[in-house]
Amino acid sequence: MSNKVFAKGLAAALAASVALVPLMASAGELVIESWRNDDIDIWNDQIIPAFNKEYPEIKVTFSPTPPTDYNALINAKFAGGTAGDLITCRPFDASLELYKQGNLAPLDDIAGMDNFSDVAKSAWQTDDGSVTFCLPMASVIHGFIYNKEAFEAAGVEVPKTRAEFYAALDKIKEEGSYIPMAMGTADQWEAATMGFQNIGPNYWKGEEGRKALIDGSQKFTDKPYVDTFAELASWASYLPDGYEAISYPDAQNLFSLGRAAVYPAGSWDISLFNSQAEFEFGAFPPPPAEGSDTCYISDHTDIALGLNAKSPNAAEAKVFLEWMTGSEFASLYSNALPGFFSLSNHKVEITDPVANEFVSWRQKCESTIRNSYQILSRGTPNLENELWNISAQVINGTVTPEEAGKAAESGLAKWYAPHQ
Amino acid sequence: MAHSGPMTDWRKAKLPVFAFLAPATIIYTLFMIYPLIDSIRLSFYTTPSGGEMAFVGFDNYRTILGDPDWSATFWNSFWNNMKFFAVHMLVQNPIGIALAGILSLPQLRFRNTYRTMMIMPTMLSVVIVGFIWQLILSPVWGVGVDILDIFGLKSLFGPWLGKEGSALITLSFISVWQWVGIPLMLIYAALLAIPDDLVDAAIVDGATHFEVFLHIKLPLVLPTVAMVSILTFVGNFNAFDLIYAVKGALAGPNFSTDIMGTLFYRTFFGYQLQLGDPSLGATVASLMFLIILAGVLFYLFAVQRRLARYQL
């Protein structure tokens, strides 16, 4: 390579790296930090162009990181002063801590904040509710997605009760052409999030049990929690062989390739299955026990957008946030990302049938959020991380449901006064 | 006046010596020594939520080593790290030595081809190595099952990466597979430095190649083997990437693959809903440094001095 060519190549590489480093963004250019790396196309092709139709002078860059790295990265970026202008907010304590450290700006003065209910805002408010520091975007709902062909092949109906659910799984297992349930425990979080938090609300009666855990009147060693672990343990016989080493993407692929009948889902899985599955699939909520008149679902406030308190482009960022409170964004987001349900009060038509099925449960079931998120994950050991480990172990069969309850309770009792 | 020549040369050379040492010293001080000292300093402080950083003396060390939860986690990661190191010492280095011995046999053909193939995994990114092996060992898509099936051993297959008892050992073997090229190259280079006449003399005396290796070559490369061991020790106790790539920072199942690097990452940066604590993280890092320092000092004073060296 001659020197000239080399110099040109170097210049090109430098130019490319400058273009790619959001740090170097010029004034008035907004950078959105997010863990939703799956959504990069939707932001670039739909949301940002729609915003630019109204505000062509504000450039927006969506800059996501892998989900499991996000919290660590965003903390490091704030510490180093290199965080973007708009920060995607995890619910509750992770974002509250960012606000307390002065990294997130209060957003109460954003016009359109009253388009969100108090429940929607609760995940991004100070404990006394006086300051809201992130703009609620969406919630996700848990349930089960099923392969319609597999249900036909085994001759089973969509289950309405817990007994019907396990009878159906037994039948599918007996029939033998499909894996009854696609999930693994290798990544640990599926066991807690799609397992424990999915079927649990039917046992602890949603918000009632979640609040009772917070005020200390219920403990993890109580019946509802041990029963949830016991039901979780029974999943082992329906999971694919070697489920201990099956990761989340493995399970997604098993289902979308049509090899499994039921998939314990978060509603966010819908868009992946829409693009990959070549069969018809539907969804049903976690089936309650026979004779119980109420069903409970996990309708988890999951994602919001905050403003970096030190952003040099705060004015432009507020314009973007105000635009996000409108009905256009609500409908765009809910439909571009089937499975993420807008938290605003705007009436939104959802065209995707499965996403529509998920959101319809809000009418017939009671909604709750994951019980480990508010307040209870504030100390060490961290309850959410403990539940990942414990739930995975319950399914792996290395701890009994009773031991699991004791482990979760003793972790909480170590630092949380109402449980001491 | 035989001595005056070199003396004056040394005095004249002084300035250039410092000039040449300066860049390395400055860079090393700026990017290695200063961060090390600063992270040790950080381990004596704590930052309460929303508050100012405060000096707390040895409190962080008391928490990590004295609090039942923290110390259980810490020692669990320490012993896992010891197992990780033991597998490397017992598998990686003997295989490296054996392969180097075979490669240095005079009548071996395709030597360079073998050498290139054996060093290849070392050049791959850890993320790729982790991904490849996860696929090979996957109970759903893996070729591992099929390969065992060819030999009629399918029943032996298990979800090794997902079992508490086997996950760490499996990961250690993956790491061995990746890094075996390093001891191989170092020892191979040392073997090449052994003069042929020593080997020839032994062969004339009736020694087999194996005897030559055991009694002549191995004692001569022992200092290199010791150096490889200490590099393995330092590398293993600083390891993090493979475990993180395959099992994540929660190092499941039930922390059976948690080593000090992953514990440090979780503590310093936090994980999922657990927020990071830079001071406690710095404490873990300082303890890692002390453990590695102790190992290296043991090597310097107890091992290196006793090694017999031969002038060839």
The per-residue pLDDT for B209 is 87
Query: Chain A, 250-279: which have a CB under 8 Å from a chain B CB?
Result: 250, 253-254
How many angstroms away from the CA of A352 is the closest CA of chain B? 30
* Interchain contact, B271 vs A75, CB within 8 Å: no
pLDDT band at residue B42 under the 50/70/90 scheme = very high
CB contact under 8 A, A396 and B253: yes
pLDDT at A27: 53
Alpha-carbon distance B159 to B163, whole Å? 6
Q: How many A×B Cβ pairs under 8 Å?
A: 122
Confidence of residue B11 (pLDDT cuts 50, 70, 90): low
Its pTM stands at: 0.84
Task: Compute the mean pLDDT over every residue in chain B, rounded to the nearest whole number.
Answer: 90
Confidence (pLDDT) at A21: 43
Q: What is the pLDDT of residues B46-97, one digit of tens each?
A: 977 666 788 999 999 999 999 988 999 999 999 999 999 999 999 999 999 9
Per the CB < 8 Å rule, is A246 touching B140?
A: yes
Among the partner residues A72, A373, A396, nearest to B273 by beta-carbon distance: A373
Residue for token digits 């863990």? Answer: A35
What confidence tens digit (pLDDT) does each residue in B114-159 have?
999 999 999 999 999 999 999 999 998 889 888 998 998 888 898 9
What is the per-residue pLDDT for A46? 92
Higher pLDDT, A7 or B38: B38
* B295 lies within 8 A of chain A by CB: no
Query: Superfamily assignment of B20-306 in CATH?
Result: MetI-like (1.10.3720.10)
**Shortest distance, CA B34 to any CA of chain A (angstroms):** 18
Query: What chain B residue is nearest to A411 in terms of C-alpha separation?
Result: B69
Per-residue model confidence as pLDDT tens digits over B233-244: 999 999 999 999
Nearest chain A Cα distance for residue B89, angstroms: 27
Report chain A (420 residues): mean pLDDT per 10 consecutive residues. Answer: 46 44 57 90 92 93 87 87 94 89 92 86 89 94 96 95 96 95 94 96 94 94 96 96 93 95 95 92 95 91 94 93 93 90 88 93 90 88 93 96 96 92
pLDDT digits (tens, 9 = 90+) for A117-138: 887 888 999 988 899 999 999 9
- How confident is the model at residue A347, as a pLDDT? 83
The pLDDT value given to residue A2: 44
Q: Which of residues 74-103 of A touch B (CB under 8 A)?
A: 75-76, 79, 90, 92-94, 97, 100-101
Q: How confident is the model at residue B10 (pLDDT cuts 50, 70, 90)?
A: low
Query: What's the pLDDT at A117?
Result: 83
Domains annotated for chain A, with CATH where assigned, are 3-138+301-353 (3.40.190.10), 141-299+367-419 (3.40.190.10)
Which one of B127, B148, B274, B284 would you mutate to disrupt binding with A, by most A Cβ within 10 Å of its Cβ? B274
Give the distance from residue B163's alpha carbon to the nearest chain A alpha carbon, in angstroms: 6
Nearest CA in chain A to B266: A72
User: Is the pLDDT confidence value at B102 over 60?
Assistant: yes
* Residue A23: per-residue pLDDT: 44
A322 near B CB under 8 A: no
Query: Looking at residue B9, what is its pLDDT?
Result: 62
pLDDT of the residue at A93: 84
Of the residues A65, A70, A71, the best mutation for testing chain B's interface (the one with the most B CB atoms within 10 Å of its CB) is: A71
Cα of B78 to nearest chain A Cα, Å: 19
Q: Which residues of B touch A79 (CB under 8 A)?
A: 278
pLDDT tens readout for residues A242-267: 999 999 999 999 999 999 999 999 99
**Nearest CB to A385 within list B69, B161, B273:** B273
Examine the pLDDT at B273 and tell me if it is beyond 50: yes
pLDDT of residue A6: 46
Please indicate whether, in this complex, the C-beta atoms of A71 and B162 are within 8 angstroms of each other.
no
